[in-house]
Structure 1
Amino acid sequence: MKCSPDILRTGTPRPSRHNGAPFTRQTFLGVGLALGVLGCKQDMPLPYVGPCADYPNGVYDFGQIGIGTCLSGSTEVKFTDDEDGNPVLVVTNANTYQNFTGGSLVTVPWNQIDLNTPRNRVSDIGAAAVDLPDFAGGLAITGDLAMVTVRLSEGARIRQHWDDVWLVDLSDPYNPVLSERGTDSTATIQVQSDPNDVEIDPISGYAFVSNRTTHSISVLDTDQDEVALIRPWPEAVLSSARWFDTDGSGSRGALDELEILDPSFIVDDNWSMDWIAGTWRVWVEAEGGVRRYNNYGGEEWRTSDVGIEMEFNEILGPDGRVTDPTFTALGNMYYASDDTIRTARSLGDTAGLWQYSPIVTLGPRDGFWDDFRVGGPGALLEDAGLNMFYDGLGSDLTSVSAIGYAWSPDGLAFERDDDPVLEASEDWESGGLFDPAPILDPETGQLTVYYSAFDGAQWRIGRATTWDRFNWNKELEPIFEVDGVDVAAPDISPSVGQWRMTYARRVDGAPWELWEAESPDGRLWNEIGPIAVLDDSVA
């Protein structure tokens, strides 16, 4: 009889191959008397990879063995010195084939290696090790500190997920231990997705970590007691100046002169000014127009010194007001007013000045589903043109707000789909869909639309995706909700792999507030906190 490939392993240790004993297998045949079923058992030796490994008690398999001082998927080799100046070899192991429970950093006394022998067993030359997670990669050493990049993202659903740099104390290289110089006295510092290489500048003490999936560089300061992530842009330059309209005359701030105060810091004679990566701008509805809030990284938001922008009330009339503003890289601001969608254009470099256009960009259409009102524009600029999503409502008393789609080659003249692309289908959407916020998902390349949903009692935020703008996959549950709290009007900004969302938030009928949240993947969101309390006129 041929045995089944499903074997039963016993606790017999597997002998090493070099002891000369051949492997033996004993086969037993049993008869199941009650069922008349023939079975087979094989007495298999347990996995053995050499004396360098740490073996658990009892029955175990590959993947359950401690890596010890074994070399497995070695990724990087460096040298350091002991206190007497003797060289010590340092090796990182990724555990590529998953034979062990994790990776490691191994140290080997160089004077114990016999250079006349082709192969030296690490178990025979006084090697020591400290355990690390799987996929340990890049290695850099400064003083008695080793930095190791690790590309394992526990629980990640997508490729793009924050990973860590691990710190190892090599003050005694023959007994490496995890350092406590990481974040909050731990051994790790969070960087971005899939850190690969790490290099340390000996002059500045800065460590530069390349993150493969997010195509970014993380900068760490190793000269501090707690190794910390630093921002590679001049935050102080962005936040040092403030404009105050002290006489209340309505004056606006503008750049008059750029002066170099300390030439010793300047290494380049050619300068250009641009919007610096790591900054965000948000425009929100305000009394008399819109108000801008700026963020230069971190959690602090500042009200723009420009003051109220798009003061079109005199032009729009007593019933008109600027609502739902959305800005595009074309320099256009789309907004809702009098149940229509209109366009304003930024006047070049003059901050806060907008040119009003009397032309209605999108309005209600007779005979279509949006014949009563349109609003809540959300624009997405691509190479081929501008995608516009908006919320619309029909004059039928039984209709609820849905989301429509329009396209324009120039951002001015639009062609609209006849039917809505997203409609209410779940109980939590029964009061309608509003405020679409489209983005191209940087991880998947899909078009993703976030939107507000109302069920007659509470506001929540939903999410839908599409590959072709015709076939949509709508989430069955809200993508973001807070118990007993209204959340609505999302605006999404994925930046270098980190997703940020600003949204309106209201508790128990109190005034709406502007809040922000962050996410590693656009699906799991964590609230950061409030940005500002909105004007009483904002509904």
Structure 2
Amino acid sequence: MSPSDLYLSFRKLQKPVLAPSKEGFDSKNTYNPAVVLRRGTFVMLYRAEAKGDKVTGRIGLALSKDGINFVRHPEPVVEPEYSWEKAGVEDPRVVRVGKTYYMTYTGYNGETARLCVATSKNLLSWKKHGVIFDEFPFEKNGRLNWTKSGAILTEKMKSGPFKGRYIMYFGDSSIWLARSKDLLHWEYEARPILKPRGHLVEPGPPPVLTDEGILLIHNEAFWRDEGLTYTVQEALFDREDPRKLLWRSKKPILEPEFEWERKGWVSNVVFAESLVEKDGRGYLYYGGADRYVGLATSVEHS
């Protein structure tokens, strides 16, 4: 069985579920969201950029009962505060463990994109815990300490070399693995566990533990005739040793098709960061052309 059979296939909605507002902090771009279910409500935390503003990201909040029609909170819930994120807070991924929500996000200082973590009890007010890795000795864009993004498995490993630890897939360019006792302090494995087949590879939504293994939906960029193109792919890792790759998709599960995915702030981009399951259906949320939020829902095979 391939991972495609686990979440089946996905069908996109033809129109975005979130687009920039006419004015305000999300008037230029709204994209790359984290979505979680809270008491039956879809809560979206999305990257927002304002017209005429050099900040590369604030994080806004929107609510929906059906996962399609969202109502926005009027102000951002996370904004740049510290030196390591002075240029932007970007691309959140959110998981719930116990009664606490953990957000991994990108802190950008104008030069280096670093992986950060924050916590919340209500998804509205967030406590920042800073940069996860003080040092990371692998270069990206000619810079060290470029760690960017992280996707956390919400269950501790029950056996194998990481027994009793949480794990996280992180990075872009390649994907690395990290382990933690408390979800705040992390140690990384020096060797990447997934390398790019094209330009880069980056984690997508939080990984899913299945009977067959750990399913990681991720993003890969390739050079095509139309230029650099971002697609959404799948990989399956071993349940006991999450470094061990068992399977990798040969074709994208999502790729740019619609006009609003092909043309935007960055053209030819679909970029997934959130997978929600409700009533047996998977809701895969993604950024389209770095301007919109799109949705693809799982479809049963006939």
Tell me whether the two structures share a fold, i.e. TM-score over 0.5.
Answer: yes
Q: Go from structure 1 to structure 2 and tell me whether the alpha carbon gap of 1:446 and 1:328 turns closer, same or farther (over 3 Å shift).
A: farther
1:329 corresponds to: 37
Residue of 374, 378, 395 corresponding to 2:89: 374
Q: Tell me whether 1:513 sits opposite 2:231 in the alignment.
A: yes
Kept in 1: contact 2:178–2:186 (CA 8 A): yes
> 1:352–1:446: structure 2 CA closer, same or farther, 3 Å change rule?
same
> What amino acid does structure 2 have at the position aligned with 1:369?
W
How many residues matched? 234
Give 1:345's aligned residue. Answer: 63
Contact 1:322 1:336 in 2 (8 A): yes
Provide TM-score, normalisation by structure 1: 0.40
Instruction: Please tell me whether the aligned partners of residues 401 and 433 of structure 1 are also in contact (alpha carbons under 8 angstroms).
Output: yes
Quick check: 1:376–1:436 contact (8 Å CA) kept in 2? Answer: no
Hey, what does 1:355 align to over in structure 2? 71
Give the C-alpha shift of residue 461 in structure 1.
1.3
Alignment of 1:420-459 (within 5 A): 420-429=131-140, 430=143, 432-443=146-157, 444-453=163-172, 459=173
- Judging changes above 3 Å, is the alpha-carbon distance between structure 1 residues 314 and 424 closer, same or farther for their aligned structure 2 residues? farther
Partners of 2:59 and 2:21 lie apart in 1 by: 15
Distance change (3 Å), C-alpha of 1:335 and 1:318: closer
**Seq. identity, %:** 15
- Counterpart residue identity of residue 74, structure 2: P
Determine the structure 1 residue equivalent to 2:273: none
When residues 333 and 496 of structure 1 are mapped into structure 2, their CA distance, relative to the original with a 3 A threshold, is: farther
- Residue type of the partner of 1:531? I
Secondary structure at the counterpart of residue 22 of structure 2 = helix
Highest relative contact order (Cα 8 Å, sep 6+), 1 or 2?
2
CA contact (8 A) 2:213 2:238 kept: yes
Aligned-partner SS, 1:504: strand
Q: In structure 1, what is the Cα distance between the partners aligned to 2:32 and 2:128?
A: 20
Contact 1:439–1:448 (CA<8 Å) still a contact in 2?
yes
Deviation at 1:427, TM superposition (A): 2.3
The alignment partner of 2:125 has SS state of: coil
Q: Structure 1 residues 498 and 507, CA, compared in 2 at 3 Å: closer, same or farther?
A: same
Determine the structure 1 residue equivalent to 2:103: 388
Letter paired with 2:136? S
- Decide whether aligned partners of structure 1 residues 471 and 311 sit closer, same or farther in structure 2, where only a CA change above 3 A counts: closer
One-letter amino acid of the structure 1 residue matched with residue 103 of structure 2? M
**Which residue of structure 1 lines up, in the alignment, with residue 270 of structure 2?**
none
Q: Quote the offset at 1:495 in angstroms.
A: 2.8
Q: How does 1:66-77 map to 2 (within 5 A)?
A: none
User: Per the alignment, in what secondary structure is the counterpart of residue 533 of structure 1?
Assistant: coil
Match of 1:415 among 102, 118, 127: 127
Offset of residue 520 of structure 1: 2.2
Paired residue for 2:243?
523
Q: Is the 8 A contact 2:86 2:108 kept in 1?
A: yes
**Counterpart residue identity of residue 532, structure 1:** L
Change (3 A) 1:485 1:306: closer
Q: Match of 2:187?
A: 473
**Cα separation, 2, equivalents of 1:358 and 1:464:** 36
1:481-500 superposed matches below 5 A: 481-491=195-205, 492-496=207-211, 498-500=213-215
Alignment of 1:74-89 (within 5 A): none
Please report how far the alpha carbon of residue 513 of structure 1 lies from its aligned counterpart in structure 2 after TM superposition.
1.3
Distance 2:119 2:199 in 1: 34
Match of 1:533 in 2: 255
Contact 1:449–1:463 (8 Å) recurs in 2: yes
CA 1:468–1:485 in structure 2 vs 1: closer, same or farther (change >3 Å)?
same
Q: Is the 8 A contact 1:342 1:361 kept in 2?
A: yes
**How far did 1:485 drift?**
3.9
Query: Cα gap change, 1:442/1:313 in structure 2, threshold over 3 Å: closer, same or farther?
Result: same
The 10-residue stretch of structure 1 (488-497 or 369-378) with the greater mean CA deviation from structure 2: 488-497
CA contact (8 A) 1:306 1:352 kept: no
**Structure 2 unmatched runs, 5+:** 50-56, 158-162, 268-288, 291-302
Structure 1, unmatched stretches of 5+, are: 1-189, 191-277, 279-294, 454-458
- 1: distance between equivalents of 2:183 and 2:29? 31
Aligned in 2, Cα 1:530/1:328: closer, same or farther, shift over 3 Å? Answer: same
Partner residue of 2:10 out of 283, 287, 302:
302
Cα distance 1:410–1:337, how it changes in 2: closer, same or farther (>3 A)? same
- Separation in structure 2 between the aligned mates of residue 316 and residue 497 of structure 1, nearest angstrom: 45
1:317 and 1:466 map into 2 onto residues whose CA distance is 34
Distance in 2 between residues matched to 1:391 and 1:317, nearest whole Å: 18
Alignment RMSD, CA only?
Answer: 2.7
Counterparts of residues 241-280 of structure 1 (less than 5 Å): none
Contact 1:504–1:513, Cα closer than 8 Å, also in 2: yes
TM-score (norm 2): 0.68
Q: Which amino acid aligns with 1:355?
A: V
How far residue 445 of structure 1 moved from its aligned partner, in angstroms, is: 4.4
User: Is the 8 Å Cα contact of residues 423 and 433 (structure 1) preserved in structure 2?
Assistant: no
Report the alpha carbon displacement of residue 361 of structure 1 after superposing the two structures with TM: 1.2
Q: Is the 8 A contact 1:336 1:375 kept in 2?
A: yes
Letter of the 1:434 partner, please give it.
K
- Residue by residue over 1:108-150, the C-alpha shift from the partner in whole angstroms, topping out at 9 and shown as x without a partner, is xxxxxxxxxxxxxxxxxxxxxxxxxxxxxxxxxxxxxxxxxxx
Partners of 1:337 and 1:305 lie apart in 2 by 21
Q: Secondary structure at the match of 1:322?
A: strand
What's the offset of the Cα at 1:298?
5.0
Residues 510, 415 of structure 1: CA spacing in aligned structure 2 closer, same or farther, 3 A cutoff?
A: closer
Q: Using a 3 Å threshold, how does the CA distance of structure 1 residues 359 and 506 change in structure 2: closer, same or farther?
A: same
Q: Which residue type is aligned with residue 88 of structure 2? A: R
Q: What's the offset of the Cα at 1:390?
A: 0.9
Answer whether contact 1:442 1:494 (CA < 8 A) is retained.
no
Q: Which amino acid aligns with 1:465?
A: R
